[in-house]
A and B are shown apart, each in its own frame.
Chain A
Amino acid sequence: MPAEIVPGPSGYIPTPAVFEEVELSPPGYGLYLGQIVDELTAMREAARAMLTRRNPTIFPGPKILWGWNAHAMEEAKAILELSAEIPNCRIIPMPDYRPKYPKIDPEAEINPNHPNLTILHNKIEACIFVGVHCHYANLSLRMIRAGTNCFTIALCGELGHEDAMVSIRDLTPEKIRRFKEVLIEVREELGIHHSPTPPPENPSLPQEDFQTLSVLDYGEYSYLLLPRKDEQVTDTE
């Protein structure tokens, strides 16, 4: 019998859900609290958490932030549409996976090596991971369950995540939009009145002028950018 995977804090060191017999859901199904459920149920429970818990936040990862392809761009658009439907929703990116010393800015980003800093600083009680590579998402989900009371939701392009409270697999832009529709339905059932509002600008990130933007403006993230055709990159680490 698989264990129930509930919001933490679960203690000093978490027991991985896999060790407690939680298995990834088959195609067409999701996970809710470690149990395999139909996808609609998983979406409804995820929506309920994002609508009723404090400081709902979406954490987009590199597959969306840096995915230079039409699929990633469409997913990014769908995530923005989803975020606009969630009252007081914020977006805090997970731009990469390297540990940051001595400390990240928890308002600017979340990092898989110490995701609890961002969760605790912003008092986030419900969050969505999307576009994060599975290995790093699993690290984060487990650490968040260990030390915070955050309800975690994984929207995964692959097979899903046992350590999330809700896991939805095989993500596509269409599925994100279906989740948005389910969320609107649940919001109406809960009697929450809300008109679509884009999330606020991230206060810790400088405004970008796309007319004059250069690779150098990306600072330590500049290595993530592809050089343009025929561009010669001479600087190396």
Chain B
Amino acid sequence: MPEQRVIDADELILKTERQRKFITGAQAMAEAVKRANVDIAIAYPITPQSEVMHLVGDIWAQGYLRDYYRAEEEYGAMSAIAGAVRGGARAFSATSGPGLLRGLEAIASWPGHRIPVVLGVLTRVVNAPLSIQPDNVEISYLLNCGMVVLHAENQQDVFDFTLAGFVISEKVDVYIPVAVCTEGFFVTHAKGYVNMTPEDLKLPPRDPYKAPVPPTDCEIPPARIQRDAPVQKSNFMSYLIHAVWQQEIWSSNRRAMKYINHYLGGPIEVVNEDAEVFIVASGCAAAQGREAVRYANMEGLNVGLVKVKSIRPFPEKQIRQVLSNAKAIIVPEHNIVGWLAKEVKACIPNSDAVIGGPRVYGGMTLPVELIMEKVYDAFGIKKSKKVVV
């Protein structure tokens, strides 16, 4: 293990010279953890997440993390993460599909308990029958937890979002978990070029006293298993306490936007902002959308792309502004429910302009030609040839 020097977060993320490597998404996530001065990683293996946590285990063995263990299952893993973070540690975990749902009760309690942590979500099918294939329907289960949800398009995003995720989650006015989601296999097991910060530099350690809540004293008895006592109705206790608590979590979620602007260049990326027809996509559907824009432009069609990096907080204002003159909005997705299309429809006045699809799921790939069929439909161009398997 090389000697690592602590450096200011802004310096590390925004200013250091980067080195280009050709690595998988799983490697990119582990490389970000390596540079994040993480104290502890806890997880339970599940495909395709196991590749990430295997690599994090490797860097623990090399001395980059202070502790690492496999929990009994995901509920235990996510509960243990909460304990470690309450005690002042910087922690990392990752999971996939059914594992995410198994840990979801604990995960959904993280924001309310003010647990700043980064959770890698390497998506896969969650439905029966059992399958390990790519599908990102599980992200829809995270949308109402209160946590920050970022969706990475490629290996570079995975590195950037994971490293910045630790910094954003620990900001005093945010202090809620950050989920870094990306498609299993399509990104985690495929290689791409990643510009990485130097290996010998790392984030400053977590300061648990710079927080909107007191850290839990894990050493001096009486040991406390949670910071916040239940708030129950009584004659002198208002239901309002839980309401304002929930408001505080969603206020914190919104406050994260300024840090997303600062560290990630904003919650969306726009290609060809004067387009007539837009493709709005997140995750690796954005990569296919980017390619569809190239195809369309080669054919002289004025098509643009809105890549959504931040699903929570959702960039309503920014999307509304970009799409204000769009004649049609195509939302390709890797799931059957179309959670992104619903989000987009909800934030623009002309929701009829949204074409919810194409959607692929259950492990199917998303051919660019499938998106192009929707593009032709949007421009009223008749094509007889259809994409078939």
Contacts and interface: CB of A to CB of B under 8 A. Distances in A.
Contact of B220 (A102, A146, A227): A227
Given A18-B251, A117-B236, A142-B247, A133 B222 contact: no
Interface in B223-267: 223-224, 228-232, 234-238, 240-241, 243-245, 247-248, 250-251, 254-255, 258
A98 B229 contact: yes
A55 to B, nearest CB: 21
Contacts of B349: none
Contact of B248 (A99, A117, A135): A135
Nearest to B258: A23
A146 B234 contact: no
B44 interface: no
A159 B241 contact: no
B175 to A, nearest CB: 7
B55 interface: no
Interface string A72-110: 000000000000000000000000011101111000000
B212 A135 contact: yes
Interface residues of B, number: 36
A114 B232 CA distance: 12
A53 to B, nearest CB: 23
A237 B225 CA distance: 11
B222 A236 contact: yes
Interface residues of A, number: 41
B221 A233 contact: yes
B251 A138 contact: yes
A158 interface: yes
A113 interface: yes
Interface string B92-123: 00000000000000000000001000000000
Contacts of B231: 99, 113
B229 A18 contact: no
Contact of A142 (B114, B175, B244): B244
A210 interface: no
Interface string B190-211: 0000000000000000000011
Nearest to A132: B212
Contacts of B234: 101-103
Contacts of B287: none
Interface string A1-33: 000000000000110111100011000000000
10 closest A-B pairs by CB: A134-B212, A18-B251, A237-B222, A135-B212, A103-B236, A236-B222, A16-B247, A142-B244, A158-B172, A236-B221
Interface of B: 114, 172-173, 175, 210-214, 220-224, 228-232, 234-238, 240-241, 243-245, 247-248, 250-251, 254-255, 258
Given A18-B251, A139-B241, A237-B223, 17 more contacts: A16-B248, A19-B247, A62-B214, A101-B234, A102-B234, A102-B236, A103-B235, A133-B212, A136-B212, A136-B213, A159-B172, A159-B173, A227-B220, A233-B221, A235-B222, A236-B222, A237-B222
